[in-house]
């Protein structure tokens, strides 16, 4: 099943790979990437992309083929990814936190002809696992930074390939990439996007990235949809990019100061780590023009602290990797709306529906659904899952279900109450975990908080909180529980608080609540926990 999104049409040569070719050629002698002390020009990036593309075409891995990459961020990753796109193939960036069975499942699901692998992840994906992938071509195993009898090195594999752009006609309906969710176990869904919806996505950002003197910094992984917000437009506009393969707050600040960074996309946990740097004010961040945030709503107090402590505008995006739903909040312009995620982006239509699929009026809480030109084509090989994702209005138009509960106010601003699946049914009433988490975060000793619902004989479900506190605090789990419960309604009250040194997260900082629930259930089975 394919989702019928609003049509996107682009002229021949306006596709993303063609935009990259023109921009990189026009700035071929300028710095493209700064990575671990290495400076690479746009001419070098373009030559590497074209060598990859022509090598893929020589193997027959062009249109209709898929090309997977498993690695941390690197220059070779950039060239492999955009080389696949230039060849007309579909890129498949794999989440580096996934275990071997999950990676094999993703590879079987996506059926790549070629796999680019870095040495770091070779032990996670050993040869016997790779040999389970029947779609891989005989010369389709490429080591990005290593070579052995079973893997050709990236340099050897591309050696002798032409550095001229391949002549491949890209159409809006052609596959662009498949992005998998980034959990550590299980078989995530593959979210398939086309060149058409990626073109529409990039068009929202290109103008600012094309301005003279823009410098972007990327500190989130290339397999994440979050990274696409700034990476794709920077490639289309040949914007200088500072690249990190893993995030460290002090190194991020040092690079921003040294390279005079103007643009950054960060996730909420990264902002929190930056704000905790004791001597943050000593770093010169005056070059910042725009800071973006996405992947999870920012706490209103965090938004205020960012506005007060870090120069440049703060722009928060709310949306889904699947597309459909998209909002934007320009924080400094709407300080009275910081508890919202903003208003719908241009071209996006958002509605709120109840559990029976009826549209709700403004002010009422229900599931957020949306429709725009960047909706995915489908979940790869999962027609039923794709079908379940959709809601249709009275005109028969498809909207994407966000899985988030929320409301829209009279001014058109959207407020997210939390994940539908995180809603706790306590005493017959709906309790939103995010409301409890926000109250916990108001405590001066609480750094992070996650609330889950656990079974209760008395209430059906009852909230349990896991928190990370300031080192050296005199607070106890019970003192924090009593403090927060004084600020909550009777049916919201937290049954138990547990301290953690850290909360389980994926690589872009999203808290993995399923792991907390599984751990709690295991404790119940062992008889060491409970309600």
Across residues 249-254, what is the average pLDDT?
98
529 pLDDT above the threshold of 50: no
> Are 56 and 102 in the same domain?
yes
Q: Does residue 93 sit within a domain?
A: yes
Q: What CATH number is associated with residue 330?
A: 2.30.38.10
pLDDT at 53 over 60: yes
Q: Which domain holds residue 317?
A: 297-418
Section 389-395 average pLDDT: 95
Domain C-terminal end among 395, 418, 441: 418
pLDDT of residue 425: 82
6 is a domain residue: no
pLDDT over 60 at 288, yes or no: yes
Verify that 406 and 438 share a domain, yes or no.
Answer: no
- 325 is a domain residue: yes
Query: What's the mean pLDDT in 132-144?
Result: 95
SS (H, E, C) 191-237: EEEEHHHHHHHHHCCHHHHCCCCCEEEECCCCCCHHHHHHHHHHHHH
How many residues can be counted in the chain? 531
| pTM for the whole structure | 0.87
Contact (CB, 8 A) for 446 and 438:
no
Q: What pLDDT is recorded for position 298?
A: 87
**Do 226 and 267 fall into the same domain?**
yes
Query: pLDDT higher for 457 or 357?
Result: 357
SS3 assignment, position 296: coil
Of 228, 250, 282, which residue sits at a domain end?
282
Query: Which pLDDT value is given to residue 514?
Result: 85
- Would you say the C-alpha torsion 28, 31, 34, 38 has a positive or negative sign? positive
Over residues 193-214, the pLDDT tens digits come to: 999 999 999 987 778 888 899 9
CA pair distance 31, 29, nearest whole angstrom: 7
pLDDT of 489 reads: 81
Domain shared by 431 and 414, yes or no: no
Q: What is the pLDDT of residue 208?
A: 87
Q: Is residue 220 within 8 Å of residue 182, measured between CB atoms?
A: no
Residue 502 falls inside a structural domain = yes
Q: Assign residue 238 the CATH number of its domain.
A: 3.40.50.12780
Give the pLDDT of residue 270.
93
Last residue of a domain, one of 399, 418, 437: 418
Could you give the CA distance from residue 273 to residue 286 in angstroms, rounded to a whole number? 19
Measured CA to CA, the distance from residue 244 to residue 74 in angstroms comes to 8
pLDDT at res. 446: 95
pLDDT surpasses 80 at 187: no
CB 166 within 8 A of CB 87: yes
Domain count, the chain: 3
* 412 and 475 fall within a common domain: no
pLDDT of residue 119: 96
Task: Give the pLDDT score at 210.
Answer: 86
pLDDT of residue 531: 40
Mean of pLDDT values over 154-169: 96
Tell me, yes or no, whether 203 and 316 share the same domain: no
Q: Is residue 243 part of a domain?
A: yes
Indicate if 403 and 436 belong to the same structural domain: no
Confidence of residue 266 (pLDDT cuts 50, 70, 90): very high
Residues 224 and 323 in one domain: no
Residues 448 and 405 in one domain: no
pLDDT of residue 526: 65
What pLDDT, on a 0 to 100 scale, did the predictor assign at position 457? 77
The tokens describing 434, both together, are 């995010």
For residue 185, pLDDT over 50 is answered with no
| Three-state DSSP string of 157-201 | HHCCCCCCCCCCCCCCCCEEEEEECCCCCCCCCEEEEEHHHHHHH
Confidence of residue 297 (pLDDT cuts 50, 70, 90): confident
Q: Which of the two residues, 482 and 296, has the higher pLDDT score?
A: 482
List beta partners, residue 33.
Answer: 40, 241
pLDDT in the model for residue 183: 47
With a cut of 70, say whether residue 20 has pLDDT above it: yes
Q: Does 1 map to a domain?
A: no
Mean pLDDT for the chain overall:
93
Question: Residue 12 — pLDDT band, cuts 50, 70, 90?
Answer: confident
Would you state the pLDDT for residue 184? 43
Residue 94's pLDDT band (cuts 50, 70, 90): very high
Q: Name residues whose C-beta falls within 8 Å of residue 123's C-beta, 6 or more positions apart in sequence.
A: none
Whether 259 and 348 map to the same domain: the answer is no
> Do 30 and 158 share a domain, yes or no?
yes
Mean pLDDT is lowest, of 75-89, 171-185, 396-410, for: 171-185
The pLDDT of residue 269: 86
Residue 437 falls within a domain, yes or no? yes
Residue 182: what pLDDT?
55
Q: Which helix (H) or strand (E) holds 403?
A: strand 398-408
Domain assignment present for residue 290? The answer is: no
Same domain, 211 and 127: yes
Lowest mean pLDDT among 39-48, 381-390, 499-508: 499-508
Encoding tokens for residue 26? 């026009």
pLDDT of residue 186: 54
């Amino acid at each position: 099943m394919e989702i019928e999104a609003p049509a996107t049409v682009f002229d021949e040569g306006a596709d993303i790979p063609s935009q990259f070719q023109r921009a990189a050629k026009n700035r071929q002698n300028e710095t493209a990437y700064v990575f671990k002390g290495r400076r690479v020009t746009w001419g070098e990036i373009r030559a590497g992309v074209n060598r990859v593309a022509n090598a893929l075409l020589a193997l027959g891995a062009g249109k209709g083929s898929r090309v997977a990459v498993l690695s941390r961020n690197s220059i070779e990753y950039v060239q492999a990814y955009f080389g696949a796109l230039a060849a007309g193939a579909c890129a498949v960036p794999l989440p580096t936190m996934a275990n071997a069975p999950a990676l094999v499942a993703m590879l079987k699901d996506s059926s790549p002809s070629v796999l680019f692998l870095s040495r770091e992840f070779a032990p996670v994906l050993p040869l016997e696992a790779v040999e389970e992938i029947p779609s891989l071509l005989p010369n389709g195993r490429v080591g990005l930074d290593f070579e052995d009898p079973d893997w050709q090195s990236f340099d050897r594999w591309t050696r002798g390939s032409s550095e001229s752009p391949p002549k491949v006609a890209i159409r809006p309906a052609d596959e662009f990439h498949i992005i998998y969710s980034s959990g550590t176990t299980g078989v995530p869904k593959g979210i398939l996007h086309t060149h058409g919806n990626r073109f529409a996505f990039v068009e929202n950002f290109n103008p600012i990235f094309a301005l003279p003197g823009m410098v972007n910094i990327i500190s989130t992984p290339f397999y994440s949809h979050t990274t696409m917000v700034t990476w794709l437009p920077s490639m289309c506009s040949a914007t200088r990019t500072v690249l990190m393969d893993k995030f460290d707050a002090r190194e991020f600040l040092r690079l921003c100061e040294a390279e005079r960074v103007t643009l950054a996309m960060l996730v909420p946990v990264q902002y929190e780590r930056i704000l905790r740097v004791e001597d943050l004010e000593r770093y010169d961040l005056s070059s910042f023009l725009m800071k973006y945030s996405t992947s999870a709503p920012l706490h209103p107090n965090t938004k205020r602290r960012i506005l007060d402590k870090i120069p440049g505008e703060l722009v928060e995006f709310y949306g889904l990797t699947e597309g459909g739903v998209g909002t934007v909040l320009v924080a400094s312009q709407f300080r009275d709306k910081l508890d919202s995620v903003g208003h719908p982006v241009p071209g996006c239509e958002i509605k709120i529906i109840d559990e029976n699929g009826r549209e709700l009026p403004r002010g009422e809480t229900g599931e957020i659904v949306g429709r725009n030109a960047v909706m995915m084509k489908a979940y790869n090989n999962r027609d039923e899952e794709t079908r379940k994702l959709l809601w249709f209005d009275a005109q028969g138009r498809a909207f994407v279900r966000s899985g988030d509960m929320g409301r829209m106010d009279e001014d058109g601003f959207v407020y997210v109450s939390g994940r539908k699946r995180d809603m706790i049914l306590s005493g017959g009433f709906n309790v939103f975990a995010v409301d409890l988490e926000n109250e916990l975060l108001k405590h001066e000793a609480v750094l992070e908080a996650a609330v889950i619902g656990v079974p209760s004989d008395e209430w059906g479900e009852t909230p349990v909180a896991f928190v990370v506190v300031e080192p050296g605090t005199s607070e106890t789990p019970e003192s924090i529980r009593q403090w927060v419960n004084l600020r909550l309604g009777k049916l919201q009250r937290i049954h138990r608080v547990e301290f953690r040194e850290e909360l389980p997260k994926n690589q872009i900082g999203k808290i993995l609540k399923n792991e907390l629930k599984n751990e709690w259930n295991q404790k119940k089975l062992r008889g060491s926990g409970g309600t």
